[in-house]
Amino acid sequence: MERRLSAILAADMVGYSRLMEADEIGVLKRQKVLRSELIDPAFTEFRGRIVKEMGDGVLVEFPSVVQAVQCAVVIQRAMVVRGESDLPDQRIQYRIGINLGDIVIENDDIFGDGVNIAARLEQLAEPGGVCISGTAYDHLKSTVDVGYEALGDVQVKNIGAPVRAYRVLTDPDQAGNVLGKTKSRSAPPIRSVASALILLIIGAGSWWWINQPDFSPVDPTQMALELPQKPSIAVLPFEMRGNAGSQDWLADGITESIISTLSLSPDMVSIAYSTMSSFKDRDVSAAQVARKLGVRYILSGSVLKVGDKLRVTSELADAVKGKQIWSIQQDSSPDDLIVLQDEISHKVFEELSVSLTVGEGTRSWIEMVGGFNNYVQVINGRAEFQKFSPEGHANAERLWGKLYRMEPNRAFANFLMGFIYWQKVTIGISADIPGDWAKATEFSNRALEIEEFGEGYTLGAVLAQGARKFEEAIKLADKAILLSPGSADSNALGGMVKAMSGQTLEGLEHMERGMRLEPDYPEWLPAPINFARLELGRNTEARKLAQEVLATDIQDVRAKPNAAGILVAAAVFDGDMNEARARALDLQKIYPGITGAFARMARSTYKNQAFVEKYVNALVQAGIPEN
């Protein structure tokens, strides 16, 4: 993957959903005229490269921040003139955000904080306005005929450090003005330098733990117990260090709290405290513990007490790879042990979720759902939801419904309830299909009214695709990916929608990216990936993943029938009818009622019905009955 410093422009139409609801055809026509007569020519004039289009928005890369801002100003000034004759509630306006930052280039797409910050700045901009980052401003100053208003350091979602932001004053009368200018930054005080030095030392310690020499990897076949398919972890008793006297109970309490918290995750197998306490004061290595207990990951740590301060250090090791993955440190006071245990346990849980299960989405989800306890409810409901069974649905509805009743005005809670009603229809348990579909749409719209977030647009995309509104579905999927390019769910769900809506190659690339971003990827994901691979002629890749699914203890009731069907069709496409007939018998054992008609109906919302028919015909040729 290539990296480079680029100027990134993110633009988005204000009130897109409201405008489309009022006059869908008219808005699309007006938008098309704006793009062809104003916006796209401006991109060309200032050498902008359109990276991605989302229907109501666009992501553009420029060779310089000066050209990006010049382009934005030209567009926004022209939009004012063009909108003078429109009624205020019918006026099309854009918000534009611009950042100069480091980006990652992969298959002509771009990712990274440089992109994420541009998207967040766009959300800070006023309708018809432009908002830029401090790094962009530092390269501009008086080179563009505009003014600026300093917004200070702004904390934006999913970005750790605050972002220095400026509003661009496009009115020509404001050119050269810098409003709200902050004092120049003086040299940091000695205390800040000392703090920075301490952070540098801590950072160097973390780097050492991550990059220290590997230990001998453990062969899973040599473990005393079979390695679970889910991420499995054992937490060694934490050691008490420093002038702690007889305070081993501090370390024991933290160990027990971490193990108890990890047991809340449906996505991990954690060895019980009663077993792990037997390892206290024993000189054992991560490899030895992994072999004895049949686990892949070992968490160890220590508690250092100096005066009235505690420093808790945790290290995670992968025994199969023979490598340390990370080390984290947390400083606290022992005054309130319960608070300390919770802080450490929650931090470890979060880091393990990022490393082993949900991926980077963990961090934003904890914030969006309202804290750690709500996040636990979300992921437990998610595990049930992904079974795609009536029982799993009922459990997910109970967990997510409780969360919604507690906080009905939280965007993520509405988003989850939307998927609950969508699943009622999808798995055939709805007593009122139009009504439940309408409720799913209502919850989807409500979630995005409260807060725009990438995953929120995936629900709208799934609903649009299910209604065979393919263009709208693609636009919403692109919007999801633009807002959350590092989200596993936005890529996986957005990619699935794009593949089913006719953009098979691009959709497959996003689904595969989603799989890479979520270490313990959802069980539904291999099915659309494999169908897209077959459509693109990548039969060998599809066959390999399908065989992995069949060899796995999986809870999604649709996963193994889908995988078995892929193997049947792949064999037919490759001309091996003996293999195809054998695989068809396997499919009928897994799903005795399977017919060609059912397989066709299950894929009735795919845009490429010609390939769906080719797939169904392959099943029938191999011996699956048509009806």
Q: Do the domain assignments include residue 258? A: yes
Q: Do the domain assignments include residue 226? A: yes
Give the CA dihedral 353, 357, 362, 366, nearest 10 degrees.
-70
**Within a 10 A sphere around the Cβ of 600, how many other Cβ atoms?**
19
Residue type, position 162, single letter = P
Q: Do the domain assignments include residue 197? A: no
Looking at residue 264, what is its pLDDT? 84
- Looking up residue 175, the CATH number of its domain turns out to be 3.30.70.1230
Q: Is the pLDDT of residue 515 over 50?
A: yes
Q: Do the domain assignments include residue 75? A: yes
Identify whether residues 65 and 109 lie together within a single domain: yes
Looking at residue 150, what is its pLDDT? 84
Q: 180 pLDDT band (50/70/90 cuts)?
A: low
Kindly list the distances between the CA atom of residue 411 and the CA atoms of 246, 404, 429, in Å, as whole numbers in the listed order. Answer: 48, 10, 26
- The model's pLDDT over 295-325, given as tens digits with 9 standing for 90+, comes to 999 988 888 876 677 788 888 888 888 887 7
Looking at residue 317, what is its pLDDT? 86
Q: What is the residue whose two structure tokens read 């679970």?
A: 228
- Looking up residue 325, the CATH number of its domain turns out to be 3.40.50.10610
Q: 504 pLDDT band (50/70/90 cuts)?
A: very high
Q: Do the domain assignments include residue 301? A: yes
- The model's pLDDT over 396-443, given as tens digits with 9 standing for 90+, comes to 999 999 999 999 999 999 999 999 999 999 989 999 999 999 999 999
Identify whether residues 158 and 53 lie together within a single domain: yes
Looking at 301, 328, 357, which one is the last position of a domain? 357
Give the CA dihedral 284, 285, 288, 289, nearest 10 degrees.
80
Q: Do the domain assignments include residue 65? A: yes
Looking at residue 423, what is its pLDDT? 94
Identify whether residues 6 and 110 lie together within a single domain: yes
Q: For the chain, give the mean pLDDT.
A: 84
Q: Do the domain assignments include residue 146? A: yes
Identify whether residues 240 and 337 lie together within a single domain: yes
pTM over 0.85: no
Higher-scoring residue by pLDDT: 140, 409: 409
Work out how many domains the chain is built from and give that number.
Answer: 3
470-473: Cβ within 8 A, 24+ apart? 470/501, 470/502, 470/607, 471/55, 471/501, 472/55, 473/497, 473/498, 473/500, 473/501
Q: Is the pLDDT of residue 444 over 80?
A: yes
Looking at residue 217, what is its pLDDT? 84
Q: Do the domain assignments include residue 191? A: no
Q: Is the pLDDT of residue 204 over 50?
A: no
Looking at residue 209, what is its pLDDT? 35
Instruction: Give 240's strand partners.
Output: 303
Q: 284 pLDDT band (50/70/90 cuts)?
A: confident
Identify whether residues 340 and 227 lie together within a single domain: yes
Q: Is the pLDDT of residue 125 over 70?
A: yes
Looking at residue 334, what is its pLDDT? 64
Range of the domain at 580: 523-627
Looking at 289, 322, 357, which one is the last position of a domain? 357
Angstrom distance (rounded) from CA 290 to CA 570: 39
Kindly list the distances between the CA atom of residue 270 and the CA atoms of 141, 261, 429, in Å, as whole numbers in the listed order. Answer: 55, 10, 34
* Eight-class DSSP state of 219: P
What is the token pair recorded at 604? Answer: 């009735």
User: Is-contact 606 500, C-beta < 8 A?
Assistant: yes
Looking at 328, 357, 386, which one is the last position of a domain? 357
SS3 (DSSP) at 327: strand
Identify whether residues 224 and 149 lie together within a single domain: no
Identify whether residues 167 and 228 lie together within a single domain: no
Angstrom distance (rounded) from CA 541 to CA 562: 15
Identify whether residues 39 and 173 lie together within a single domain: yes
| Cβ burial, residue 215 (10 Å; 0-12/13-18/19+) | middle
Of 11-20, 176-185, 491-500, 534-543, the range with the lowest mean pLDDT is 176-185
What is the token pair recorded at 120? Answer: 């967040």
Which of 550, 528, 545, 539 shows the shortest CA–CA distance to 608? 528
- Looking up residue 552, the CATH number of its domain turns out to be 1.25.40
Identify whether residues 24 and 143 lie together within a single domain: yes
